[in-house]
A and B are shown apart, each in its own frame.
Chain A
Amino acid sequence: MQLGGNAVVIRERNVDTDVLYPGPFLSIQDVNQMKQPLFEGLNPALRDELVGDTVLIVGENFGTGSSREHVPQAMKASGIRCVVGKSFARIFYRNCINLGMPVVVCPGAAEAASPGSRIRIDTEAGTVEVDGKRFEAKPIPAFMHDMLSSGGLVEWARVRSGAVG
């Protein structure tokens, strides 16, 4: 998969799912409505940077905490194509893969990117480019890569259930 966008940067370590999407908004079920409280407890102004295709650049242990899928659902609906970071919390990582949104571990790129940087990701080659400068990413395991390529767990499951051939 090749994808890209402009960088939106969250530098802090251990950014938790509560600040990314606070508890009181968990009663929202409509994905479009989930966009509104995204980043509410962290920095609501970040929402204004989500214009067109974007790549979220993050630090260590991003997405720690709750299993709430509202976070990656809202990100995807807001135009975030991929998340590139230093490391990820496990359930957030799973949720992104399941939604077909690549999560790339690439500390070098995460360090080099600044807001608005042009980011290009090649998941097969395992590289991330930041304003033309190339960084090696940690390879995405084959199983997760296949799931991403098929569009996520729903598409993967539709093949299994026979809903599509």
Chain B
Amino acid sequence: MGHTLAEKILLSRSEADSLAPGDVVMVRCDVVMTNDISGPIAFRTMREMGVEKVFDPAKVVLIPDHFVPAKDVRSAELQKVLKEWAAEQGVVFYDQGRGGIEHAVLVEDGWVVPGSVVAGGDSHTCTLGALGAFGTGLGSTDVAACLAFGEFWQAVPGTIRVEFSGEKGRFVTGKDLILAVIAQIGVDGGTDHVLEFVGPGAEALSIDERLAVANLAVEAGSETGIFPADDRTAAYLEGRTDRPWTAERSDPDAEFARSVRIELDSLPPLIALPHSPGNVVALAEAVGRRIDQVYIGNCSNGTLTDLRQAAEILRGKQVHPRTRAIVVPATQKIWRAALAEGLLDVFAAAGCIVSTPTCGACFGGGNGILAAGENALATTNRNFKGRMGSPEAGVYLGNAWVAAAAAVAGEIVDPAEVL
């Protein structure tokens, strides 16, 4: 019996000679990443484990991004701990103004290659599957063990094969593809499983759009989501990394737990209504909902591709008087690229707030919190009750075209009507 891509990666990073879903193995990390929330607890816990130094400083990356820039003394203390601990341990540290949102930084800076294993102290570490890596989101005690020993325990997941067939239409992006998957299998449909994204519709996606797809794999409960590496992956990695890698895919006789097919030819832009990423409807069903805040950013949709889509809508237009719009490029490099292309000026001229990279309002940390009764349309990945502020607020999830169009119209609208 052959192996799935996820099984092959876990085999290559464990002592096991063979493995099957349900087996528990220790998995070696190529990179261990943590941030200003999961990090300080993990550092303290590593010491409780009787370990003073990380397993390999060159494989440990610290990125403050959640409460960045510090919104109060308590969050400033966390960032101080991170910076001091990085210096003490000699690990890699992306200071504020030099990095951005952790997953986007790891991808753009060549830390992630196909077949690698990255353990991150954040649930959206699954984003790294866009490049064919096994990115796994862990809590602080798990991260502590990874810092200490470079390993985590893993029950081998089954694999759900997700095939995107056909060709997606205008104003449909990677965000819509993954929302369609979550709508089909449910917010716990991927529990104990990896989503493997294949088919012509997957191959046609740019890396930026694959990031959005992989990012929301966790919103289906999955261990992670993976795209097999291909020519686009290779082209993206060219010049970004000198880490060796080979393109692996699932064996033809690999056993999948199940298969899911999403037909792109008929897929419209989608919206996840409050208060669940699984509460998915066609854009047309959500048209007319009043929007008080548009938020374009986060680890799923703060890429240059997303900013270009939003700018195409907003160029020469104004944000609706009843709405405020916040644009948050995911990294400092994306911010500068958007500046060089003139995108930031398009946003500013339209009346948007242009922010420094941060997780910020996505998780209610700051930088765009919602009041009771307000509605937001966000390109983020979670719209749980109270996620972006008041529990009496509503968050609608959508792609960057749809978000920018809502900023102009002050309500949810088909982007074709605004452009």
Within 8 Å CB of B50, what residues of A?
Answer: 157-158, 161-164
- Do residues B153 and A143 form an inter-chain contact, with CB atoms below 8 A? yes
Known: A18-B384, A91-B123, A143-B24. A161 touches B139 (CB 8 A): no
Known: A95-B142, A98-B142, A141-B24. A64 touches B391 (CB 8 A): no
In the assembled complex, A116 has its CB within 8 A of some CB on chain B: no
Within 8 Å CB of B74, what residues of A?
Answer: 27-28
The A47-79 residues at the B interface (CB cut-off 8 A) are: 60-61, 64-69, 72-73
Within 8 Å CB of B141, what residues of A?
Answer: 69, 95, 98-99, 152-154
Interface centre among B38, B40, B149 (most CB of A within 10 A): B38
Output the least CB separation between A110 and chain B (Å): 15
In the assembled complex, A29 has its CB within 8 A of some CB on chain B: yes
The interface size of chain A toward B, counting residues with CB under 8 Å, comes to 45
- Do residues B365 and A94 form an inter-chain contact, with CB atoms below 8 A? no
A-B contact count (CB 8 A): 140
Q: How far is the CA of A160 from the CA of B24 in the complex (A)?
A: 18
- Do residues A68 and B78 form an inter-chain contact, with CB atoms below 8 A? no
The A12-48 residues at the B interface (CB cut-off 8 A) are: 14, 16, 18-19, 22-24, 26-29, 41
- Do residues A14 and B188 form an inter-chain contact, with CB atoms below 8 A? yes
- Do residues A26 and B384 form an inter-chain contact, with CB atoms below 8 A? no
- Do residues B37 and A94 form an inter-chain contact, with CB atoms below 8 A? no
Q: How far is the CA of A95 from the CA of B144 in the complex (A)?
A: 12
Q: How far is the CA of A41 from the CA of B386 in the complex (A)?
A: 7
- Do residues A69 and B38 form an inter-chain contact, with CB atoms below 8 A? yes
In the assembled complex, A90 has its CB within 8 A of some CB on chain B: yes
The B56-100 residues at the A interface (CB cut-off 8 A) are: 66-67, 72, 74-75, 77-78
- Do residues A18 and B382 form an inter-chain contact, with CB atoms below 8 A? yes
Q: Which of B221, B364, B386 contacts A90 (CB 8 A)?
A: B221
In the assembled complex, A87 has its CB within 8 A of some CB on chain B: yes
Contact string, B395-409, partner A, CB cutoff 8 A, digits 1/0? 000000000000000
Within 8 Å CB of B384, what residues of A?
Answer: 16, 18-19, 65
- Do residues B49 and A158 form an inter-chain contact, with CB atoms below 8 A? yes
In the assembled complex, B137 has its CB within 8 A of some CB on chain A: yes
In the assembled complex, A144 has its CB within 8 A of some CB on chain B: yes
In the assembled complex, B208 has its CB within 8 A of some CB on chain A: no
In the assembled complex, A89 has its CB within 8 A of some CB on chain B: yes
Contact string, B32-52, partner A, CB cutoff 8 A, digits 1/0? 000001101100110011110
Known: A90-B192, A143-B24, A157-B51. A23 touches B139 (CB 8 A): no
Within 8 Å CB of A144, what residues of B?
Answer: 24
List 11 A-B pairs, Cβ < 8 Å.
Answer: A18-B386, A23-B364, A23-B365, A67-B38, A68-B139, A90-B221, A94-B139, A95-B142, A98-B139, A154-B48, A158-B48
Which positions in B face A, CB cutoff 8 Å? 22, 24, 37-38, 40-41, 44-45, 48-51, 66-67, 72, 74-75, 77-78, 121-123, 137-142, 144-145, 148-149, 153, 155, 187-188, 191-192, 221, 223, 276, 278, 363-365, 382, 384-387, 391
